[in-house]
């Protein structure tokens, strides 16, 4: 499922002290003039000339840097100093978060050893919280934020990705890289007022189309990038269809058990008709060069459970136009349904996958009525139809680049031949993830950059990116 929607209002989560914070750097009282690079002008290879300083927050959420310690990154249970090549300026559209109940870890510049900071070194009475970055789409983490929990009973962090961040030369730096040049979710590229006017106009025009009304809420309330792109008639249009699911994913962003952690948006509560779906897809695919229309969104369950509806919708769409790409984001649990949809005209399948190892896939997805073998069979079915397959492979440093996980992924790619690997950050509290999966490290992590380099060498035909690529 897609990620990247803004959270519900913080007020809806009274039990969670979590927010995007205003920023104070080295005692400055100006909380608005924080320098951030422009993605359109910065070069992808820009790195700092020294390791940035550790940053932390006080109890009020005010962030400061601490030059006496360098920033650290975390990969699984390993804390380390990022290399200069790991670090890029905080991308435009990213956020800085404070992490309640989490203590920061920095690096001693003399010894290179990680150090746990247990009280605010500048003002002990002011309190102390770790800090992380939530990078904008099209960026992938090399290290997640270096912190330790102050006690074992803390509530889980909300469903975002937590990237290591530091401060140097007047700006934030993160341990990550740009994994896709596509600009489809750069939210600084549109005018909010124009978007609101256009969305409201369409909502009035299509009052009877429940799906358009649903996407209007996604756009105006959650600022969902996919919904925004639909109303701006550009890039990829979302087609949420299923209110139910056959998995209970730990990191589900649309439905979480009470008391766990907040979901980032509400799940669709109806099944749209094929006509309602086509009324979105046909104009979009017709008007947008390289347009994509995708079933399976963050605001729904598993779309394959609505295969009858989707099959009819695809046939209706293709009756009207052969333009554009019809895509399905899915857990790939039902190979028979995938076969039907491929026959109907489905162009591409994106398979959500946290792990290429059955045991960890099972513990994350907690499937109802399917296995990891079902997933692999769905990939095989699509490839037998000559269709495009992406793996939406959730990236978490220390797990993704674990040697055993790397070996399992290579085996999967070698046998089933997916076309594309989407390097999406896992949106989940890392400590919760490792605990829930009962993860056993198979040795020191490879490092994300080394992991990616080896994949490219082993599978030269495999493509890499972040978004669903247009095929037509």
Q: Do residues 229 and 187 touch, judged by C-beta distance below 8 A?
A: no
Among 178, 193, 217, identify where a domain stops: 178
- 444 and 317 within one domain: yes
Are residues 273 and 342 both part of a single domain?
yes
Last residue of a domain, one of 178, 199, 223: 178
| Number of structural domains in the chain | 2
Strands 171-178 and 236-239: what pairing? unpaired
Domain assignment present for residue 120? The answer is yes
Do 247 and 156 sit in the same domain of this protein?
A: no
Kindly state whether residues 114 and 256 are assigned to the same domain.
no
Return d(Cα 8, Cα 6) in angstroms, integer.
7
Nearest to 406 by CA among 365, 447, 349, 359: 447
Both 284 and 426 in one domain: the answer is yes
150 lies in the same domain as 248: no
Residues 302 and 423 in one domain: yes
3-state secondary structure of 228: helix
Q: Specify whether the backbone of 332 is left (phi greater than 0), alpha (psi in -120 to 50) or beta.
A: left
**pLDDT, one tens digit for every residue, the chain (472 residues):** 233 333 332 223 223 333 333 333 333 322 222 333 333 333 355 999 999 999 999 999 999 999 999 999 999 999 999 999 999 999 998 999 999 999 999 999 999 999 999 999 999 999 999 999 999 999 999 999 999 999 999 999 999 999 999 999 999 999 999 999 988 877 666 788 889 999 999 999 999 999 999 999 999 998 888 999 999 999 999 999 999 999 999 988 666 554 555 555 577 999 999 999 999 999 999 999 999 999 999 789 999 999 999 999 999 999 999 999 999 999 999 999 999 999 999 999 999 999 999 999 999 999 999 999 999 999 999 999 999 999 999 999 999 999 999 999 999 999 999 999 999 999 999 999 999 999 998 889 999 999 999 999 999 999 999 999 999 8
Q: CA-based Rg of the chain, rounded to a whole angstrom?
A: 22
What predicted TM-score, i.e. pTM, was given to this entire model?
0.88
Residue from 326, 175, 191, 251 nearest 3 by CA: 251
Residue numbers of the domain that contains 302: 233-465
| DSSP bridge partners of 55 | 65
Q: Residue 342 sits in a domain of what CATH number?
A: 3.20.20.70
Is 213 contained in some domain?
Answer: no
Domain-terminating residue out of 178, 211, 242: 178
Phi, psi of 110, rounded to the nearest 5 degrees: -80, -45
Structural domain includes residue 39: yes
Do residue 255 and residue 136 come from a single domain?
no
Q: Is residue 204 part of a domain?
A: no
Are both 272 and 412 inside the same structural domain?
yes
Is 471 a domain residue?
Answer: no
Are both 158 and 88 inside the same structural domain? yes
Q: For the stretch 387-424, what's the b/e string if a residue is b when 16 or more beta carbons lie within 10 angstroms of its beta carbon?
A: bbbbbbbbbbbbbbbbeebbebbeebbeebebbbbbbb
407 part of a folded domain: yes
Structure tokens at 440: 């056993």
Residue 404 inside a domain? The answer is yes
Q: Within a domain: residue 183?
A: no
Do 135 and 267 lie in one domain? The reply is no
Residues 31 and 140 placed together within one structural domain of the fold: yes
């Amino acid at each position: 499922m897609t990620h990247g929607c803004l959270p519900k209002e913080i007020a809806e989560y009274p039990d969670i002290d979590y927010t995007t914070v205003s920023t104070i750097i080295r005692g400055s009282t100006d909380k608005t003039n924080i320098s951030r690079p422009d993605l359109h002008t910065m070069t992808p290879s820009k790195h700092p000339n020294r390791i940035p300083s550790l940053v932390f927050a006080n109890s009020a959420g005010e962030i400061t840097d601490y030059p006496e310690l360098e920033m650290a990154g975390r990969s699984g249970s390993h804390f380390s100093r990022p290399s200069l090549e790991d670090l890029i300026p905080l991308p435009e559209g990213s956020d800085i978060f404070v992490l309640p109940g989490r203590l920061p870890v920095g690096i001693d510049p003399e010894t290179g050893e990680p150090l746990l900071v247990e009280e605010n070194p500048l003002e002990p009475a002011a309190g102390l919280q770790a800090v992380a970055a939530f990078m904008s789409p099209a960026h992938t983490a090399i290290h997640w934020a270096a912190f330790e929990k102050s006690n074992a009973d803390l509530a889980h962090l909300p469903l975002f990705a937590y990237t290591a961040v530091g401060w140097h030369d007047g700006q934030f730096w993160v341990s990550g890289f740009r994994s896709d040049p596509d600009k489809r979710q750069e939210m600084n590229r549109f005018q909010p007022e124009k978007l609101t006017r256009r969305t409201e106009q369409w909502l009035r025009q299509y009052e009877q189309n429940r799906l358009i009304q649903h996407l209007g809420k996604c756009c105006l309330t959650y600022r969902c990038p996919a919904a925004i792109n639909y109303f701006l008639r550009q890039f990829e249009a979302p087609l949420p269809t299923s209110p139910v699911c056959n998995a209970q994913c730990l990191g589900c962003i649309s439905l979480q058990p009470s008391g766990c952690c907040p979901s980032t948006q509400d799940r669709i509560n109806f099944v749209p008709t094929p006509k309602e779906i086509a009324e979105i897809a046909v104009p979009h695919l017709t008007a947008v060069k390289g347009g994509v229309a995708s079933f399976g969104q963050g605001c729904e369950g598993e779309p394959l459970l609505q295969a009858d509806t989707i099959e009819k919708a695809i046939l209706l769409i293709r009756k009207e136009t052969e333009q554009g790409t019809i895509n399905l984001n899915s857990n790939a649990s039902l190979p028979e349904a995938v076969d039907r949809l491929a026959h109907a005209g489905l162009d591409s399948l994106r398979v959500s996958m946290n792990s290429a190892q059955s045991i960890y896939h099972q513990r994350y997805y907690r499937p109802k009525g399917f296995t990891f073998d079902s997933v692999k069979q769905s990939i095989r079915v699509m490839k037998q139809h000559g269709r495009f397959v992406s793996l939406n492979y959730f990236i978490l440093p220390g797990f993704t680049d674990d040697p055993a996980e790397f070996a399992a992924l290579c085996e999967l790619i070698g046998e089933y031949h997916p076309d594309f690997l989407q390097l999406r950050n896992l949106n989940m509290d890392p400590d919760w993830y490792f605990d829930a999966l009962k993860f056993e490290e198979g040795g020191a992590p490879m490092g994300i950059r080394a992991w990616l380099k080896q994949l490219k060498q082993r599978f030269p035909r495999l493509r890499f990116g972040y978004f669903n690529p247009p095929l037509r």
